[in-house]
Chains A and B, each alone.
Chain A
Amino acid sequence: MAVKTDPEQKQEQRLERALRKYKGKPGVLIAALQEAQEIFGYLPRKVLIRVANKLTIPLSEVYSVVSFYSFFSTVPTARHRLEVCLGTACYVQGAETLLRDLQDLCGTGPGKSAAESPFSITTTRCVGACGAAPIVKIGEELHGEMTAEKLPRLLEELEKQ
């Protein structure tokens, strides 16, 4: 058996504590998965098995929920998650071109994250900041009135973090 590294052990302890809180309560699967994803950054299979066992929900059902909601990811995500809003207002203000420019700059595309790149690019549905369209969402931060000219500096700043 592989020796577990410290951070990994900590993550598992946190998951354990979280699941104890949800155990036996109805309707908590989504909340439990949200918390698990917050801990691990994504939902690997072993985490799903742990959630299923602890909450006594069939693994198939856990998978069906994970695959239904776009917020859940079963693959690791890059250090910086960039999401380009493709809602109507952003689209009208040129979000599609912006997305292409961003992909060119990072050398990645929606859903595929280049192995070495610190950036992953996905698209999102309307984030409700249409007054400042087009929007690029990075983590929980929204960057409004985004233009191709502003992108290189934004990426540079992120890389420095």
Chain B
Amino acid sequence: MSTLVKELARERVRPETDHRLLVCGGIPCRSKGCREVKEALCDELQKRGIAGGIPVEVVGCIGDCSLGPALIVYPEGIIYQKLAPEDARTIVREHLIEGRIVEPLLHRDPRSSEILRQREAMPFYRGQTRLVLRNCGVISAHIDDYLKYRGYAALALALAEMSPQEVIGEVRSSGLRGRGGGGFPTGRKWALAREAPGDEKFVICNADEGDPGAFMDRNILEGDPHSVIEGMIIAGYATGAARGYIYVRAEYPMAVHRCREAITQARRKKLLGENILETGFSFDLEIRTGAGAFVCGEETALISSLHGTRGDPEPRPPFPAQKGLWGKPTLINNVETLANIPLIILHGAARFTELGPKGSPGTKVFALAGKVRHTGLVEVPLGTTLRRVIFDIGGGIPGDKEFKAAQTGGPRGGAWARSRSTGPWTTTACAKPARSSARGGSS
């Protein structure tokens, strides 16, 4: 296990002593009726007169969509799956009041029929390295929860003890590459924006995730918006920008809503706005929503759209880092890239490079969908084979059918046939378009 994973695991150990109910609020769970489950939970708690002491929180995607609607009961961390409202009432009566775990509602491994009580026991989670997704489905999107897990500590560290150049240096030596599909070295992009002459600069978070089959960014924004906001503020400090925009596609109303709330919360805590943490540094954010144009995920088209015009791409150079929004130097990073930043600053670049292969370090979030047993979000170190993702984590193909091919990475990706499924996935493989996997959709 890498040191970074160990350190994070230590931070995770929060003395859970009280009952706390987490209802998965990811889109698949919502479409399968998680709201009714939550209402039934609250209603039953009320009826039994214990509603006051047991908080019920709707969290972002827990990960394995095939379990939905899912519920995690703390302090034990028991995960219940495929719940109907009536099941929720049973859980309140039997688990919460009588202290008896409701076995028929637990997940059973389809092969061994073994009952798996906790998330960590399931192959789907055990096989993953959840760094970017560390908070998704574990805490609510509220800033108070994020702060409990060392949220905004990276920002405080950067502002108090690092110069902008040192921040860029750290990102550079982490070797982080853009997770939006291009795989461009993030540190270099930051340095270009910093060095570009100009008094006014901008930071943009590209959340126009449009590749079919991809829903990584949406779940990060819905489940852990503050990690992205923290990454953006650090980017603003490093590049010398005082304003940022999150450009979210309109097809993601929940992500828009959660980001709006997160920005308001961060402003209230003075983590956004004038004189952040009394360091003299000022930075503020705004959300802009797209209007249904796939091309706006391309950075120059996105900037055209932010100008309020048609999303027509512009030839590069000049690159946005030199001449972007309103003709000013502009840094554009993808959601997942930005969510990596707090980790790198807080734990150091050296820790980060322990994961994944040389030249393509870190993890990548993949969206697993289609004819596979467990669908949902999967985060693994880069360099992991497709076969491992589909079989060890995804549980293979229903009916134990033979694997024929997988399509990866949206239009820029390609089809991976069986013969190639044992090769490692990297962001640098972008140079060979057929193996590009920097965009993590997989169906």
Contacts and interface: CB of A to CB of B under 8 A. Distances in A.
B288 interface: yes
A128 B215 contact: yes
Interface in B300-326: 305-311, 326
B206 interface: no
A93 to B, nearest CB: 7
A142 B254 CA distance: 11
Contacts of B375: 130-131
Interface stretch (B23-31, B114-122, B164-172, B227-235): B23-31
B305 A87 contact: no
Contact of A128 (B251, B307, B376): B251
B107 interface: no
A143 interface: yes
A127 interface: yes
Contact of A72 (B30, B291, B306, B407): B291
Contact of B31 (A65, A87, A125, A145): A145
Interface stretch (B336-344, B350-358, B365-373): B365-373
A69 B215 contact: no
Interface stretch (A23-31, A74-82, A112-120): A23-31
Interface stretch (A1-9, A12-20, A97-105, A132-140): A132-140
Contacts of A89: 212-213, 369-370, 443
Interface in B15-57: 26-28, 30-32
Contacts, number: 131
B443 to A, nearest CB: 4
Contact of B294 (A27, A125, A128, A130): A125
Interface in A6-60: 26-31, 33-34
Interface residues of A, number: 39
- Interface bin, chain B: 35 or more
A121 B113 CA distance: 43
B66 interface: yes
A28 B290 CA distance: 12
B326 A88 contact: no
A29 B309 contact: yes
A161 interface: no
Nearest to B66: A131
A143 B31 contact: yes
Contacts of A27: 306-308, 326
Contact of B30 (A65, A87, A130, A142): A142
A68 B311 contact: yes
Nearest to A139: B253
Contacts of B66: 131
Interface of B: 26-28, 30-32, 65-66, 68, 209-215, 218, 250-253, 288-294, 305-311, 326, 367-371, 375-376, 407, 441, 443
Given A34-B250, A128-B27, A142-B31, 12 more contacts: A30-B305, A34-B289, A68-B293, A68-B310, A71-B250, A71-B290, A89-B213, A92-B370, A92-B443, A129-B28, A133-B369, A135-B31
19 contacts: A30-B291, A61-B309, A69-B290, A69-B291, A69-B292, A88-B212, A88-B443, A92-B370, A92-B371, A128-B215, A128-B218, A129-B31, A129-B215, A131-B66, A133-B370, A142-B30, A143-B31, A144-B27, A145-B32
